[in-house]
Structure 1
Amino acid sequence: MENKESPSSPGKAAPSALRSMAKAEGGSTQIAPIIMGSNNTIQLPISINMTQTMMPNTEKSLSHLKSIHREELQRRCASLFEYSSWLVQCKPSTSKNFTEPWLTEGEMGPASHTHEALEAFYQLHQRNSNRTIKLADIFHPRPTEQPESTRIRVVVTKGIAGIGKTVCTDWLVHSWACGSSLTQFDFIFPLPFQKLSLLPAGHLYSLINLLMLYFPHLHCFEQVMASPNRCLFILDGLDECQLPLEFTSCPEHSSVLEPASPACLVVNLIRGSLLPRASVWITSRPVALGCLPSCHIDRITEIQGFLDSQIEEFFNRRLGNCGDKIIAILKKQKTLFNMCYIPAFCWLLAIIFERSPKTTEEECMPKNVTEVYTIFFMLAVAYQHHRSDGNQRSVEDAKDLLWSNSTNIQNLSRMAYNGLRFQKMFFSPQDLEDYNLNGSGLYQGLVKEFVSENNGPFCQKAYSFVHLTVQEYLAALFVLIDCSVPHKRSLFSLHKELCLGRSVPKGLFSAFKKACEDAIQSPVGHLDLFLRFLCGLAMESNQCLLQGLLGDYEEEPSVASQIAKYIHEALEKNLAPERCLNLLHCLGELRDNSLVEKIKDFMANGSLSSRSLSSAEYSALAFVLETSDEALDVFSLNPYVSVPDGLRRLSPVAKLYRSLQ
Structure 2
Amino acid sequence: MKQEELAERLHSRSQAGVQQKLKRNLQQKFECVFEGIAETGNPKTLLNQIYTELYITEGGATEVNQDHEVRQIETASRKPHRPPTTITCEDIFKTPPDRDQPIRTVLTKGVAGIGKTVLTQKFSLDWAEDKANQDIHFIFPFTFRELNVLKQKKFSLVELVHQFFTETKEAGIWIFEDFQVTFILDGLDECRPPLDFNNTQILTDVTESTSVDVLLMNLIRGNLLPSAHLWITTRPAAANQIPAQWVDMVTEVRGFTDPQKEEYFSKRFTDEEQTNTIISHIKRSRSVHIMCHIPVFCWITATVLEDVLKTTDRRPLPKTLTEMYIHFLVVQAKVKNIKYDGGSDTDPPWSPETRKMIESLGKLAFEQLKKGNLIFYESDLTECGIDISSASVYSGVFTQVFIEERGLYQDKRFCFIHLSVQEFLAALHVHQTFTNTGVNLLSEEQTTSQRSGSAQTQFYQTAVDQALQSPNGHLDLFLRFLLGLSLPTNHSLLQGLLTQTGSSSETNQEISKYIKKKISENVSAERSINLFHCLNELKDQTLVEEIQNKLSSGHLDTDKLSPAQWSALVFILLSSDKDLDVFDLKKYSTSEEVLQKLLPVVKASNKAVLSGCNLSDRSCEGLSSVLRSQSSSLRHVDLSNNDLKDSGVKILSDGLKSPGCRLETLRSGLSGCLITEEGCSSLVSALKSNPSHLRLLDVSYNHPGDSGQELSALLEDPHWTLDTLRSGLS
Pair 638,115 (structure 1): closer, same or farther in 2 beyond 3 Å: farther
* Equivalent residue, structure 2, for 1:421: 370
* Equivalent residue, structure 2, for 1:556: 504
* Equivalent residue, structure 1, for 2:261: 311
1:83 aligns with 2:33: no
CA offsets per residue over residues 54-101 of structure 1, 9 Å max, x none? 211111110010000001000100122533333995232111110011
Q: More displaced, 211-220 or 308-317? A: 211-220
Pair 644,539 (structure 1): closer, same or farther in 2 beyond 3 Å: farther
Question: Displacement of 1:194 after TM fit?
Answer: 1.2
Structure 1 alignment gaps of length 5 or more: 1-46, 499-504
Out of 70, 86, 96, the position equivalent to 1:142 is: 96
CA contact (8 A) 2:488 2:502 kept: no
Listed as ranges, the matches of 1:474-513 within 5 Å are: 474-486=425-437, 489-493=439-443, 495=445, 506-513=454-461
Q: More displaced, 357-366 or 166-175? A: 357-366
Question: Displacement of 1:288 after TM fit?
Answer: 0.7
Structure 2 alignment gaps of length 5 or more: 610-730
| AA aligned opposite 1:468 | L
Listed as ranges, the matches of 1:508-657 within 5 Å are: 508-552=456-500, 556-608=504-556, 610-638=558-586, 647-657=595-605
Question: Displacement of 1:248 after TM fit?
Answer: 1.3
Question: Residue 86 of structure 1: SS of its match in structure 2?
Answer: coil
1:131 aligns with 2:82: no
CA contact (8 A) 2:512 2:538 kept: yes
CA contact (8 A) 1:577 1:652 kept: yes
User: Following the alignment from structure 2 to structure 1, what is the Cα–Cα distance between the partners of residues 497 and 445?
Assistant: 24
User: Following the alignment from structure 2 to structure 1, what is the Cα–Cα distance between the partners of residues 171 and 508?
Assistant: 63
| AA aligned opposite 1:115 | H
Question: Residue 434 of structure 2: SS of its match in structure 1?
Answer: helix
User: Following the alignment from structure 1 to structure 2, what is the Cα–Cα distance between the partners of residues 170 and 68?
Assistant: 17
Pair 599,359 (structure 1): closer, same or farther in 2 beyond 3 Å: farther
* Equivalent residue, structure 2, for 1:444: 399
1:104 aligns with 2:61: no
* Equivalent residue, structure 1, for 2:140: 189
Out of 319, 329, 333, the position equivalent to 1:367 is: 319
* Equivalent residue, structure 2, for 1:297: 247
CA contact (8 A) 2:194 2:241 kept: no
CA contact (8 A) 2:80 2:579 kept: no
| AA aligned opposite 2:210 | A
TM-score, with length taken from structure 1: 0.85
CA offsets per residue over residues 234-272 of structure 1, 9 Å max, x none? 011111111341111111111111111110111111100
User: Following the alignment from structure 1 to structure 2, what is the Cα–Cα distance between the partners of residues 384 and 140?
Assistant: 46
User: Following the alignment from structure 2 to structure 1, what is the Cα–Cα distance between the partners of residues 412 and 592?
Assistant: 53
* Equivalent residue, structure 2, for 1:205: 155
Pair 606,524 (structure 1): closer, same or farther in 2 beyond 3 Å: same
* Equivalent residue, structure 1, for 2:361: 412
Question: Displacement of 1:355 after TM fit?
Answer: 4.0
* Equivalent residue, structure 1, for 2:294: 342
Pair 109,58 (structure 1): closer, same or farther in 2 beyond 3 Å: closer
* Equivalent residue, structure 1, for 2:207: 257
Pair 142,197 (structure 1): closer, same or farther in 2 beyond 3 Å: same
Question: Residue 180 of structure 1: SS of its match in structure 2?
Answer: coil
Question: Residue 190 of structure 1: SS of its match in structure 2?
Answer: strand
CA offsets per residue over residues 180-227 of structure 1, 9 Å max, x none? 12222111111101111122x421111122112211233257637334
User: Following the alignment from structure 1 to structure 2, what is the Cα–Cα distance between the partners of residues 359 and 272?
Assistant: 58
Give me the identity figure in percent.
34
Question: Displacement of 1:563 after TM fit?
Answer: 1.3
* Equivalent residue, structure 2, for 1:332: 284
* Equivalent residue, structure 2, for 1:389: 341
Question: Displacement of 1:332 after TM fit?
Answer: 2.4
User: Following the alignment from structure 2 to structure 1, what is the Cα–Cα distance between the partners of residues 13 and 325?
Assistant: 54
User: Following the alignment from structure 2 to structure 1, what is the Cα–Cα distance between the partners of residues 312 and 530?
Assistant: 28
Pair 141,249 (structure 1): closer, same or farther in 2 beyond 3 Å: same
1:246 aligns with 2:196: yes
CA contact (8 A) 1:420 1:472 kept: yes
1:160 aligns with 2:111: yes
Question: Displacement of 1:325 after TM fit?
Answer: 2.7
CA offsets per residue over residues 593-617 of structure 1, 9 Å max, x none? 1111111111111122554322222
User: Following the alignment from structure 2 to structure 1, what is the Cα–Cα distance between the partners of residues 91 and 107?
Assistant: 13
| AA aligned opposite 1:307 | T
* Equivalent residue, structure 2, for 1:117: 70
CA contact (8 A) 2:368 2:374 kept: yes
CA contact (8 A) 2:456 2:503 kept: no
User: Following the alignment from structure 1 to structure 2, what is the Cα–Cα distance between the partners of residues 227 and 383?
Assistant: 51
Out of 258, 273, 279, the position equivalent to 2:223 is: 273
Question: Residue 549 of structure 1: SS of its match in structure 2?
Answer: coil
Pair 260,643 (structure 1): closer, same or farther in 2 beyond 3 Å: farther
| AA aligned opposite 2:207 | L
* Equivalent residue, structure 1, for 2:127: 176
CA contact (8 A) 2:558 2:589 kept: no
Question: Displacement of 1:548 after TM fit?
Answer: 2.2
User: Following the alignment from structure 1 to structure 2, what is the Cα–Cα distance between the partners of residues 644 and 198?
Assistant: 57
CA offsets per residue over residues 457-492 of structure 1, 9 Å max, x none? x24211111100000001110111011114x55544
CA contact (8 A) 1:311 1:341 kept: yes
